[in-house]
Chain A
């Protein structure tokens, strides 16, 4: 006859049956809160840097490109000089698109973070 053993773990739910919130960990200076915050900060900063790098290698590379290949200044597209077309028209929708994608991604990150600290991490419940 085997003895019955009660198995316990960290509480997943509080007395009222709601998932335990880890929000307190983020606000108070606990090691766990530190990990959460660091991961959010890293993710958001990474996203911001990705946008800035995208800006640097496209828009930021233009002066260098025109400096290295001066012939580009003489290129016309539909009768408009290439530089005027790129910097006068094309650049604006691209900036808006980049910003729009950033806002979607960053809001998703924040939702995931909120789910995580409120104990609603996907697949756990």
Chain B
């Protein structure tokens, strides 16, 4: 720890204080239980889109992508592209119907659609699983960021992020988190865009030195050669394109829209905001080719975004830029972790802790929510502190594969097909969850197979997603008599515009 640590330390402190301050300011608007969970469903599309963008741009986006691109080349561009295109798929298949379903969480949707406690429980289990699978790399990323920025021991980052998130989520719930996350999107965009522009100018001023050996694998968007490379690339594309709709923190956000039309407009704005952000990580990777081969040799490509300013600019300028990117990275962990914790604790509250806390007195729901939030943070925090090396983007990729193999078929068939039954849904969730989840566990456990077996395990989506769809459809057809009687009525509600009064009708039914 030396004077090198000062800009990083200041940046982390500033982001933490701003986050807590905005959270507290948002608290003034957070008075009711409804505010607490869903910001009373009155968040306007633009604010909501900024909040979704802030929540969605995680450690993997801010740090992971640039590092992956530097080492892996163009085939890693599928990560940012897939994370964005996933919102287009979500827009056309689920955005408006999901909002109209009135479901707060995925288990809510499953229960309302299929009238089955069993499917609900299976979904709750999966939400918590996917959420934790996604939280672990956020905590890990916080560790390496603080290690790189201020030379702190690797456990400090996860603990700080965990504490700040917990305080914020516990005190303000969804309403104050919305303001915090909207702020964090713009902070992240500034923190990646401004240094990138400065660095490009510096590179230009030095006579545009070329990176070594452009061409070959670096400009090929297919991972490796032959059939295996093609399979892996397509499997990753399927996981990312279809997995977005099944991420717990994304779904919860849709309920804060006023109506289905608002949900669509929010999604469209998110598409634009994500595109605006993802143009910049490749710039860091390209400059890293010129200035950052030391990082690649030492296996520290993950911190490319943090180190590049210092490598290219000497003196105060470099320190200031370092402070800015550190602030952005720290905001990335805080906002994504907050979103995931809100989503996971929403599910835990409904299915676990609200049964533990006496449901009589008013305000006890908030108590149950706070208890759930503590559990939602502590478990993945402990996992992050215990497990060894986890590539940030790869483990996020596995969370997408599991989401694509379970919630994607459930949502798509539940919204568009009347014939889905509870038995079919359960069988499909089990097939997809065990398939993709099993592959994820084997991967994290360090199983390393060669050739096709390895590719099928590392990128399971191309087989697990069709498998889940097929099982869900076939078992539903075989148990057609179990199709819920209200399925038709429910579909009417999902697909008719609110202006026709479908909402009023179904509200009367509840």
Chain A residues proximal to chain B, CB less than 8 Å: 23, 26-27, 29, 33, 37, 40-41, 44-45, 47-48, 51-52, 55, 59-60, 62-64, 66-67, 70, 73-74, 81-84, 86-89, 91-93, 95-96, 98-100, 102-103, 106-107, 110-111, 113-114, 117-118
Hey, which chain B residues are within 8 Å of A48, CB to CB? 92-93
Known: A52-B92, A114-B497. A92 touches B416 (CB 8 A): no
A41 and chain B: residue at smallest CB distance: B495
Whether B74 lies near A51 (C-beta < 8 A) is no
Measured in the bound complex, the distance between the Cα atoms of B221 and A70 in whole Å is 10
Of A63, A81, A96, the residue contacting B222 (CB under 8 A) is A63
A93 to B268, CA, bound (A): 12
Residues of chain B within 8 A of A95, CB atoms compared: 84-85, 88, 271, 275
User: Distance in Å from the Cβ of B413 to the closest Cβ of chain A?
Assistant: 12
| Interface flags, B212-256, vs A, CB<8A=1, else 0 | 001110111110000001100110010001000000000000000
Across the interface, which residues of B come within 8 angstroms of A103, CB to CB?
91, 264-265, 268
Question: A73–B81 contact, CB under 8 A?
Answer: no
B74→A87 contact, CB < 8 A: yes
In the complex where A52-B92, A64-B230 touch, is A113 in contact with B497 (Cβ < 8 A)? yes
New A-B contacts (12) at CB < 8 Å, excluding given A73-B219, A81-B218: A23-B501, A26-B500, A37-B488, A37-B492, A41-B416, A63-B221, A66-B220, A87-B74, A96-B272, A99-B92, A99-B268, A113-B497
B77 touches A83 (CB 8 A): yes
CB neighbours (8 Å) of B88 from chain A are 51, 55, 95, 98-99
A102 (CB) vs chain B CBs: closest residue: B92
Check: B78 CB closer than 8 A to any chain A CB: yes
Question: By the criterion CB–CB under 8 Å, are A37 and B495 in contact?
Answer: yes
Please tell me if the beta carbons of A27 and B505 are within 8 angstroms of each other in the complex: yes
Counting CB contacts under 8 A, is B502 at the interface? yes
Q: Which residue of B lies closest to A75 (CB)?
A: B219
Q: Is B102 an interface residue (CB 8 A)?
A: no
**In the bound complex, how far is the Cα of B278 from the Cα of A118, in angstroms?**
44
11 contacts between A and B (CB under 8 A): A27-B489, A52-B92, A67-B229, A81-B219, A82-B219, A83-B219, A83-B221, A87-B77, A92-B279, A103-B91, A114-B499
User: What is the chain B residue whose CB lies nearest that of A92?
Assistant: B275
Within 8 A of A (CB), among B178-228: 214-216, 218-222
A99→B220 contact, CB < 8 A: no
Interface centre among A55, A84, A100 (most CB of B within 10 A): A84
Which B residues touch A100, using CB under 8 A? 268
Whether the Cβ atoms of B492 and A27 lie closer than 8 Å is yes
Q: Contacts of B261 on A, CB cut-off 8 Å? A: 107
The answer to whether B219 touches A84 (Cβ under 8 A) is yes
In the assembled complex, how far is the CB of residue A44 from the closest CB belonging to chain B, in whole angstroms? 6
Q: Would you give the shortest CB distance from B15 to chain A, in whole angstroms? A: 27
Cβ-neighbour of B271 out of A64, A99, A107 (below 8 A): A99
B282 in the interface, Cβ–Cβ < 8 Å? yes
B345 within 8 A of A: no
User: In the complex, A107→B271 CA distance in Å?
Assistant: 18
Q: In chain A, what residue has the closest Cβ to B283?
A: A88
* B74, B275, B489, B495: the one within 8 Å of A84 (CB): B74
Nearest CB in chain A: distance from B495 CB, A: 6
A44 closest partner in B (C-beta):
B495
Number of chain B interface residues as a range: 35 or more
Contact B84 A99 (CB under 8 A): no
The residue of chain B having its C-beta at the shortest distance from the C-beta of A60 within the complex is B237
Q: State the 10 A-B residue pairs at the shortest beta-carbon distance, nearest first.
A: A92-B275, A81-B219, A87-B77, A48-B92, A73-B220, A83-B74, A88-B282, A83-B221, A110-B497, A63-B233
Bound: A32/B78 CA distance, A: 46
Whole-angstrom CA separation of A89 from B277 in the bound complex: 11
Task: Please determine whether A87 and B81 come into contact, CB atoms closer than 8 angstroms.
Answer: yes
B385 on interface, CB distance cutoff 8 Å:
no
Partner of A63, one of B84, B91, B237: B237
Docked pose: A23 CA to B267 CA in angstroms: 29
Nearest-CB distance from A82 to chain B (Å)?
Answer: 7
Q: Are the CB atoms of A66 and B222 closer together than 8 Å?
A: yes
CB closest residue in chain B, given A26: B492
Measured CA separation A78–B269 after assembly (Å): 30
Closest to B272 in A: A96
**Once the chains are docked, how many angstroms separate the CA of A48 from the CA of B230?**
26
- B247 to chain A minimum Cβ distance, whole angstroms, is 18
Q: Which of B76-91 contact A (CB under 8 A)?
A: 77-78, 81, 84-85, 87-89, 91
Q: Which residues of A contact B272 (CB under 8 A)?
A: 96
Interface residues of B in 90-112 (CB under 8 A from A): 91-93, 96
Contact assessment for B268 and A67 in the assembled complex, using a CB-CB cutoff below 8 Å: no
A71 CA to B501 CA in the complex, in Å? Answer: 57
Set B89, B91, B276, B496: member contacting A26, Cβ < 8 A: B496
Q: Which residues of A contact B20 (CB under 8 A)?
A: none
Q: Is the CB of B264 within 8 A of A106?
A: yes
In contact, B92 and A51 (Cβ under 8 angstroms) = yes
Give, as a whole number of angstroms, the nearest-CB distance from B273 to chain A: 10
CB of B164 within 8 Å of the partner chain: no
A89 to B91, CA, bound (A): 21
Are A74's CB and B91's CB within 8 A?
no
Is B6 in contact with chain A by the CB < 8 A criterion? no
Is B222 in contact with A84, judged by CB distance below 8 angstroms? no
A67 CB contacts on chain B under 8 angstroms: 222, 229-230
Within 8 Å CB of B416, what residues of A? 41, 45
When chains A and B are docked, how far (Å) is the Cα of A14 from the Cα of B24?
55
